[in-house]
Amino acid sequence: KWSNDLGDFDWQNAKNKCKNMKMRLPTITEIKEAKKEGLTKEWYHSIWTNIEYNETGALIFNNKFGSIQYEPKNNLIHVYCIE
């Protein structure tokens, strides 16, 4: 089950927001499955994934192009959580 759009957060605060809702950031596979099912049509351009790339960055899913990209953790990116 997916949350609604929770707005823009940096990566750590996105993780915390999901955790407080007893949810978590989604995996790339979960996002790709949601896209295949048409659930992401109304989603914003990019959303955080649960994947930490390194100390200063994490991966986002670019919904427009269906691609995975590196993003600095302190950038504000849209958040959707999954149970």
| pLDDT value, residue 41 | 83
Considering only CA atoms, which of 73, 76, 83 is closest in space to residue 45?
76
In contact, 79 and 2? CB cutoff 8 Å: no
pLDDT tens-place string over residues 57-73: 999 999 888 899 999 99
| pLDDT value, residue 31 | 94
| pLDDT value, residue 79 | 96
| Per-residue tens of pLDDT for the chain, all 83 residues | 999 999 999 999 999 999 999 999 999 999 999 999 988 888 878 999 999 999 999 999 998 888 999 999 999 999 999 99
| Host H or E run for residue 78 | strand 77-78
Beta bridge partners of 79: none
Task: Please give the radius of gyration of the chain, using alpha carbons only, rounded to the nearest integer.
Answer: 11
